[in-house]
Structure 1
Amino acid sequence: MNSSPSQGHRPLIASTGPEEPAIIVTSVDFANSPLAGDYSSFFAMTIDNLLTPDECAKLQGAAGNDWQTLSKGNAFRECQNILVFSQQWASALYDRIVSHLPQDVKALRKGDRLAEIIAGPSHLKASMGARKAVWRIKEANERLSFLRYQPGHHFKPHCDALYARPGKDERSFLTCQIYLNDAPEGANGELSGGGETRFWTSQVGKRQKTPEIGHEMEDKGEAPFLDIKPKIGRALVFQQRMLWHSGQEVKHGEKFTVRLDLMFERHFEKL
């Protein structure tokens, strides 16, 4: 069953973290990667030490142990998850994340190249007379998805779907994946134990869309890619629109993450 803790529980983590270890923010440099031809101006970044190892353990432990198996379409996705609905947890994580986001990601408006890549022209074209649409980051969705990948588990290449909050002029444009443990170690001479978040070359127009996940593609084997390695306390923030990625198969040990959507609200402002 999905976990839904009451809103009155004691906070697990504070909105601001300890001074040590220091936060390290790194842009994913697609322009100087094998994916430059597709994503040179796309947005992704890592925030190392967003959570301490102790906070990761507390957050994971508080989510419980009622793991539900996720399996979709010919083993396209195999892992386990627990859903936790908590505005308190989401708000604390959002407060940690938002201060490290670039200013041009927090407000998306027509004419800004990065905004049009993240939000897409269709979301930016609306206007009310002289006032133009601006999407401003607001909060993290209270729906937190805790994920456990065991040996053989994976999530094949796909694009995340933008979430529209019912009855409100709000959209998710960014995904935040927080790794709650280090990448599994390789064995028997392997360099990696798997579990990387892998960005793939674009497959726009090459696969059909599915409502649950967004666009899908088959694992291309030798196609260009760029890996982000799980590291305890590391957050990976990236645009949902048109950015293909996978959760590579875990070969040894386990991989734990928590995923949340970063929500934007549309305003009309004189620019």
Structure 2
Amino acid sequence: MASDAPAGEVSLLDSYSPDRPPVTAMRIDFSKTPLAPHYSPYFAMVIDSLLTPAECAAVIASAGSNWRDLKKGDSWRECEQILSVSPDWAKALSERLAPHLPDEIKVLKKGDVLSEHIAGPSNLRASQGTSKTVWRLRGADERLSFLRYRPGHHFKPHCDALYSPGDKEKSFLTCQIYLSDMPEGQQGGEGSGGETRFWPSRTGMGRQSKKSGGVEEDEQHTENESFLNIEPKIGRALVFQQRMLWHSGQEVKRGEKFTVRLDLMYNHHFEKPSK
């Protein structure tokens, strides 16, 4: 059950600090990765230094300490979670994120290739006379999912669910903000794990999960499959489409990984096409 975040003034501490590192945003061009046959038109991006370490500490502290084990389906997912409802933090994080998102994902409409991959044709089909469906990005949902991964914790390949609390709003993007660094790997040994890994499409291989609302894989990936890793890095945000983009949280080998997961919400409108 979700709990309300502690009351109090919300601020991202280092918003105007002259010493904060510059924010850098990079769209992932899947056509130049081993996953090109699966995801070339799909959307994902990495935003580095979105939050400073001090801001990450403040975000973690806002969640409190009531961690609960989250185990589902034959160890399909093992981690700890705090589900916090905080309109203030959702607003603060949305305002920090918004300037770094490309304009082409802020408005989704029929006839646009990227929009149709993000939202899916069925979500763009409705019309009222000459007015067509348009989904406009409004920001993060007030539900913040804080996750802590300890050694042995992981999240197997899956697609995120589209969240729809009402008829006129729906999530199409996930924003995962890494709130901690992983320990450096031992020299000559394996790393600390915890990567977010994009896998080839498993369309037709998954099943709908009644517990999570997402799509789980039915079959294990093979060792020779291609993949793309995104390393956990404090203050880094990974933004990606929820629909049909398979990914996993790789097993943590050493240390702890803290993240906060946001659903980026869109509002539904009927608008006349611009000339």
Q: For this structure pair, what is the TM-score category when the shorter chain's length is used for normalisation?
A: over 0.9
Change (3 A) 1:44 1:18: farther
Kindly indicate whether residue 244 of structure 2 is the aligned counterpart of residue 242 of structure 1.
yes
Residue from 232, 235, 238 that aligns with 2:234: 232
Question: What value does the CA root-mean-square deviation take over the aligned residues?
Answer: 1.6
Percent of aligned positions with the same letter in both sequences?
Answer: 56
> In the alignment, residue 33 of structure 1 is paired with which amino acid?
T
Task: Tell me, yes or no, if the aligned pair for 1:79 and 1:150 is still in contact at 8 Å.
Answer: yes
Q: Distance in 2 between matches of 1:197 and 1:206?
A: 20
The number of equivalent residue pairs is 269
**SS of equivalent residue, structure 1 residue 59:** helix
Which residue is 1:149 aligned to? 149
For 1:60-79, list aligned pairs within 5 A.
Answer: 60-79=60-79
Which residue is 1:124 aligned to? 124
Which residue is 1:175 aligned to? 174
> In the alignment, residue 229 of structure 1 is paired with which amino acid?
E
Tell me the TM-score normalised to structure 1 length: 0.95
Q: Which moved more, 1:183-192 or 1:145-154?
A: 183-192
Q: Distance in 2 between matches of 1:18 and 1:132?
A: 44
1:186 Cα deviation after fit: 2.2
Task: Tell me, yes or no, if the aligned pair for 1:71 and 1:79 is still in contact at 8 Å.
Answer: yes
Which residue is 1:265 aligned to? 267
Task: Tell me, yes or no, if the aligned pair for 2:152 and 2:251 is still in contact at 8 Å.
Answer: yes
1:105-127 per-position Cα deviation (integer Å, ceiling 9, x unaligned):
00000000000000000000110
Task: Tell me, yes or no, if the aligned pair for 1:3 and 1:63 is still in contact at 8 Å.
Answer: no
1:146-189 per-position Cα deviation (integer Å, ceiling 9, x unaligned):
100000000000000000013x4100000000000113332363
> In the alignment, residue 74 of structure 1 is paired with which amino acid?
D
Which residue is 1:192 aligned to? 191
> In the alignment, residue 47 of structure 2 is paired with which amino acid?
I
**SS of equivalent residue, structure 1 residue 31:** helix
1:14 Cα deviation after fit: 6.1
Question: Which ranges of structure 1 fall in alignment gaps of 5 or more residues?
Answer: none
Q: Distance in 1 between matches of 2:79 and 2:231?
A: 18
Task: Tell me, yes or no, if the aligned pair for 2:174 and 2:240 is still in contact at 8 Å.
Answer: yes
1:40-93 per-position Cα deviation (integer Å, ceiling 9, x unaligned):
010000111110000101111221111100000000000001111000000000
Q: Distance in 2 between matches of 1:193 and 1:172?
A: 31
Tell me the TM-score normalised to structure 2 length: 0.93
Q: Distance in 1 between matches of 2:57 and 2:259?
A: 11
Question: Which ranges of structure 2 fall in alignment gaps of 5 or more residues?
Answer: none
Q: Distance in 1 between matches of 2:35 and 2:251?
A: 21
Q: Distance in 2 between matches of 1:14 and 1:84?
A: 20
Q: Distance in 2 between matches of 1:82 and 1:156?
A: 20
